[in-house]
Amino acid sequence: MSKAITIAQAQRYDAHTIDTVGIPSMVLMERAALATFNNLLNDDYDLNRVVVVAATGNNGGDGIAVARLLKIRNIDVSIYLLGNPDKATEQTQQQLKIARYYQIPFTSDLNDVINATTIIDAIFGVGLSRDVTGDFAAAINAINATDASTVAIDVPSGINADSGATLGVAVVADSTTTMAYNKVGLLTVNGKHHAGTVHVADIGVYAQDHVESIK
């Protein structure tokens, strides 16, 4: 799984895996969360105070699932949620329900982000195509102003996964757990600067030609 793919390819492979192969989106989300969680442990981050900064798309759902895995390990974790949870994707609404069951605290105070020892960036994934503004930009600026280590899920929020360009403002991560294949934008100079160390996680999403070759 050494090749890098574009946004369109990533979206096509996801759709093929869910709609044609039949692996549910929630299963892929759980695998993405577990891969990120394992990289957090293996890379030896300071997990004394972890804050997951999440939005309401599926990238946010990945992060909320990571929060639950940390909570189960008795790690101090909270969620800083951006956006309207009533408009979250179906999978992210399910992750929010699970997080509430586990009584994971939610915060609306950016000082909690600033004072974290490790931050999980789960704001935007590969689908971002517009400049980041408003509360989303404020959260990214807060992340970048901290001394905390930052782990991005799939791509650093604010980075175009095709061009590697910064869309207004972007997270500067220490590491990025990207799903299935690396993204072409993370191989650019700017992409590399923002992504840090890139871990490519096999979550069960493959190119169609790969699937055909093993039938």
- Annotated binding residues for K(+), as ranges? 59, 121, 157
Q: State the angle between helix axes of 25-42 and 90-101 in degrees (0 to 180), rounded to the nearest 10.
A: 60
HSE (CB half, 13 Å, CA atoms) of 118?
24
In the chain, the DSSP E strands lie at 4-5, 50-54, 77-81, 106-107, 118-122, 149-153, 175-179, 182-183, 197-201
Residues in the annotated binding site for (6S)-NADPHX: 58-62, 125-131, 154
Which residues does the annotation place in the binding site?
Answer: 58-62, 121, 125-131, 154, 157
Helix, strand or coil for residue 53? strand
